[in-house]
């Protein structure tokens, strides 16, 4: 993953350093993203989709007040990478104490099943579950002793027998743990890649014989986009509940493997990030992307967008109730700055409304100042300006590099605009026949 990380970080710093985010920069950035992803073995269709999405969103998405196009682009890249990896919802284990849950691990040989079985057992044991392991692999000599050794290391009981049919072992093992009131049984299976048909047959027999609560496919990240084919093949013989992608540490094609799995619609529950028993993590696309891009400023920018979006929702709700908040004012000022002189705009309105004198005098300088002031306010202050007392004014003035006088002036204009808008909407209603009574 190091390479993808390095390449994506270059993209991020390019966006940050570009003098201007214009068509040319955008196209360059998109090319770099494509190269980075293709290098990580992400399939061409996924790569094209993600860059098309970015392009489209940059063009279409509204720039909220106080944000730059550069920040919008960073946010969109971040979100599209997360989407490529399955979105923001992370896997929630459905295992409950006192209720037996049987997990069957499948996957071809060498994918990391046995290691993952032990890692999973350790993961749940640490969370207070009573976990047992079953070795249903008796094709590979030493399979049982490998699992037993791991079980000993983590203090988890392992059930297994040499020279016995794997289905019989699984059934007996389940009985063994059931009697002892275990919460979770993890069954490790065999996987002979050379004889794929045979493996699939055995898996499908095993699934119908033991009816696991959950089947998990273990996939090796180093196979890159081939993961799609494997995921589909296993899904055909037994509905795959989730996928664990192993060996993500150091797998150059890891990004491709993850994207390919997501594309099949399967859920990635965990990822293996090392050989050690504790190197298993619940897969969380945002955390993963943060790690790729480097924790820090991209995340901070995205968080600011989220905070604004949340605020905007509240504002719309307030507006629906006929309230005009400071945030609406901020929004309109930002829009006005883009549109040109206020006078011109007002002249275009039907009915030839007169703006209050104070509003007309607001020049570009004032607008900038006001925006700075409002950006120093808390959410609560923006939505409920009546709470802004002298103490708050002082803090806001300091935060925005203005004076209390400026803050007061803004609040005064806000109140005037608010009452003006109230009047305006009453007038409008009067003009409409249905409301004239």
CB of 25 to ligand GDP, least distance (A): 38
From the CB of 276, what's the least distance to ligand GDP, in Å?
Answer: 9
Strands (DSSP E) contained in 221-356 are 242-246, 268-272, 280-282
Q: Is 188 within 8 Å of 117 (Cβ atoms)?
A: yes
- Looking at beta carbons only, is 110 or 341 nearer to ligand GDP? 110
Q: Are 218 and 107 in contact (CB under 8 A)?
A: yes
Distance, CA of 355 to CA of 416 (rounded, Å): 10
277 or 311, CB closer to ligand GDP?
Answer: 277
413 is an interface residue for Mg ion by CB under 5 A: no
Q: Which residues bind ligand GDP (CB under 6 A)?
A: 107, 109-115, 191, 246-247, 249, 272-275, 279
What are the angstrom distances between the C-alpha of 207 and each of 104, 133, 268? 8, 17, 20
Dihedral angle, C-alpha 164, 167, 173, 176, nearest 10 °: -100
**Nearest-approach distance from CB 320 to ligand GDP, in angstroms:** 51
Nearest residue (CB) to ligand GDP, 190 versus 410:
190
3-state class (DSSP) for residue 19: coil
Q: What binding mask, one character per residue, do residues 110-149 give for Mg ion by CB under 5 A, x or -? A: ---xx-----------------------------------
In contact, 188 and 134? CB cutoff 8 Å: yes
Least Å distance between CB 92 and ligand GDP? 22
Stretch that binds Mg ion, among 10-18, 37-45, 81-89, 106-114 (CB under 5 A): 106-114
Of the candidates 3, 1, 32, 2, the residue with the CA atom closest to the CA atom of residue 15? 32
Q: Which residue lies nearer to ligand GDP by CB, 87 or 110?
A: 110
Residue 385 interacts, among ligand GDP, Mg ion, none and using kind-specific CB cut-offs from 5 to 8 Å, with: none
Cα 151 to Cα 243: distance, rounded to the nearest angstrom: 22
Min dist CB 247 to ligand GDP, Å, is: 4
What is the C-alpha separation between 45 and 352, in angstroms, rounded?
Answer: 53
Closest contact distance (angstroms) between CB of 143 and Mg ion is 5
* CA–CA dist 370, 357 (Å, integer): 17
For residue 213, give both structure tokens. Answer: 């609560």
Task: Write the burial class of residue 221 (CB in 10 Å: 0-12 exposed, 13-18 middle, 19+ buried).
Answer: buried
Query: Residue 290's binding partner, choosing from ligand GDP, Mg ion, none, with beta-carbon cut-off 5 to 8 A by kind?
Result: none
Q: From 417, 332, 418, select the one nearest 367 (Cα to Cα).
A: 332
* 196 contact choice in ligand GDP, Mg ion, none (CB below 5 to 8 Å, kind-dependent): none
Residue 391: burial class (beta carbons within 10 Å; 0-12, 13-18, 19+): exposed
Please identify, among the stretches 64-72, 107-115, 267-275, 334-342, the one whose residues bind Mg ion according to the rule CB under 5 A. 107-115
CB closer to ligand GDP out of 66 and 274: 274
Question: Measured from the CB atom, is 123 or 288 closer to Mg ion?
Answer: 123
Number of residues that bind Mg ion (CB under 5 A): 2
For Mg ion, give the closer residue by CB, 277 or 411.
Answer: 277
Which CB, 77 or 221, lies closer to ligand GDP? Answer: 221
Residues of the shown chain interacting with Mg ion in the complex, contacts defined by CB under 5 A: 113-114
């Amino acid at each position: 993953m190091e390479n993808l990380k390095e390449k994506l970080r270059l993209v991020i710093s390019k966006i940050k350093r570009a003098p201007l985010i214009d068509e040319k920069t955008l196209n360059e950035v998109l090319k770099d993203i494509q190269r980075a992803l293709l290098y990580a073995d992400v399939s061409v269709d996924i790569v094209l989709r993600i860059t098309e999405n970015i392009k489209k969103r940059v063009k279409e998405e509204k720039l909220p007040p106080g944000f730059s196009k550069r920040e919008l682009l960073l946010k969109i890249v971040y979100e599209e990478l997360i989407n490529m990896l399955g979105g923001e919802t992370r896997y929630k284990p459905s295992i409950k104490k006192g209720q037996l849950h049987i997990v069957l691990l499948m996957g071809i040989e060498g994918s990391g099943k046995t290691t993952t079985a032990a890692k999973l057992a350790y993961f749940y044991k640490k969370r207070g579950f009573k976990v047992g392991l079953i070795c249903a692999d008796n094709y590979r000599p030493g399979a049982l002793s490998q699992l037993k050794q791991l079980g000993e290391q983590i203090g988890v009981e392992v059930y297994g027998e040499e020279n016995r049919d794997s289905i019989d072992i699984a059934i007996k093992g389940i009985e063994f743990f059931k009697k002892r009131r275990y919460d979770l049984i993890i069954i490790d299976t065999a996987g002979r890649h050379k004889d794929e048909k045979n493996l699939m047959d055995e898996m499908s027999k095993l699934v119908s014989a033991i009816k696991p609560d959950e089947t998990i496919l273990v996939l090796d990240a180093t196979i890159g986009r081939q993961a799609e084919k494997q995921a589909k093949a296993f899904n055909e013989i037994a509905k795959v509940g989730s996928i664990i992608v192993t060996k993500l540490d150091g797998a150059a094609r890891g990004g491709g493997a993850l994207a390919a799995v997501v594309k099949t619609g399967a859920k990635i529950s965990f990822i293996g990030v090392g050989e050690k028993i504790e190197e298993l993590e619940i897969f969380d696309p945002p955390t993963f992307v943060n790690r790729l891009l480097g924790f820090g400023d991209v995340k901070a920018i995205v968080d600011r967008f989220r905070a604004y979006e949340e605020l905007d929702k509240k504002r719309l709700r307030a507006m629906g109730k006929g309230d005009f908040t400071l945030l609406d004012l901020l929004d309109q000022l930002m829009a006005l700055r883009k549109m040109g002189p206020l006078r011109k705009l007002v002249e275009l309105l039907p009915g030839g409304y007169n703006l209050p004198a104070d509003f007309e005098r607001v020049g570009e300088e004032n607008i900038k100042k006001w925006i700075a002031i409002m950006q120093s306010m808390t959410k609560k202050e923006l939505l409920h300006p009546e709470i802004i007392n002298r103490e708050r004014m002082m803090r806001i003035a300091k935060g925005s590099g203005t004076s209390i006088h400026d803050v007061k002036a803004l609040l005064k204009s806000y109140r005037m605009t608010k009452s003006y808008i109230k009047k305006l909407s009453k007038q409008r209603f009067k003009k409409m026949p249905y409301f004239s009574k």
